[in-house]
Amino acid sequence: DQQVKQNSPSLSVQEGRISILNCDYTNSMFDYFLWYKKYPAEGPTFLISISSIKDKNEDGRFTVFLNKSAKHLSLHIVPSQPGDSAVYFCAASGEGGTASKLTFGTGTRLQVTL
Amino acid sequence: EPEVTQTPSHQVTQMGQEVILRCVPISNHLYFYWYRQILGQKVEFLVSFYNNEISEKSEIFDDQFSVERPDGSNFTLKIRSTKLEDSAMYFCASGGGWNTEAFFGQGTRLTVV
At A23-82, the pLDDT tens digits run 999 999 898 999 999 998 889 999 999 999 999 999 999 999 999 999 999 999 999 999
Measured CA to CA, the distance from residue A53 to residue A51 in angstroms comes to: 5
Of the partner residues A41, A51, A89, the one whose CB lies closest to the CB of residue B99: A51
pLDDT of residue B111: 97
- At B34-75, the pLDDT tens digits run 999 998 888 999 999 988 899 999 999 999 999 999 887 899
* Residue B85 placed within a domain: yes
* Residue B66 placed within a domain: yes
Within 8 A of A46 by CB-CB distance, chain B residues are: 101-104
Q: Per the structure, how many domains does chain B have?
A: 1
Inform me whether the C-beta atom of residue B65 falls under 8 Å from chain A C-beta atoms: no
- At B6-38, the pLDDT tens digits run 999 999 999 999 999 999 999 889 899 999 999
Hey, what amino acid is at B88?
A
* Residue B58 placed within a domain: yes
| CATH number, domain containing residue B25 | 2.60.40.10
A87: nearest CA partner in chain B: B42
Q: Domain span at residue B56? A: 5-9+17-96
Give chain A's domains with CATH numbers: 4-113 (2.60.40.10)
Q: How many CB pairs under 8 A join A and B?
A: 77
pLDDT of residue A100: 75
* Residue B89 placed within a domain: yes
**What does DSSP assign to residue B101?**
P
Residue pair B100/A98 in contact by the 8 Å Cβ criterion? yes
Selected residues 13-72 of chain A with any CB under 8 Å from a CB in chain B: 32, 34, 36, 41-46, 49, 51
Provide the pairing of β-strand A72-77 with A103-104: unpaired
Q: Which of A110-114, B32-36, B75-79, B94-98 comes out lowest in average pLDDT?
A: B94-98
Question: What are the residues whose beta carbons fall under 8 Å from the beta carbon of B63, sequence distance 6 or more?
Answer: B80
Inform me whether the C-beta atom of residue B25 falls under 8 Å from chain A C-beta atoms: no
* Residue B104 placed within a domain: no
C-beta atoms of A46 and B33 within 8 A: no
Measured CA to CA, the distance from residue A75 to residue A59 in angstroms comes to: 11
For every residue of chain A, which 3-state class applies, written as one string? CCCEECCCCEEEEECCCCEEEEEEECCCCCCEEEEEEECCCCCCEEEEEEECCCCEEEECCEEEEEECCCCEEEEEECCCCHHHCEEEEEEEECCCHHHCCCEECCCEEEEEEC
C-beta atoms of B42 and A44 within 8 A: no
pLDDT of residue A103: 92
Within 8 A of A64 by CB-CB distance, chain B residues are: none
Is residue A97 predicted with pLDDT exceeding 60? no
* Residue B39 placed within a domain: yes
Neighbours of B8 (CB within 10 A): 13
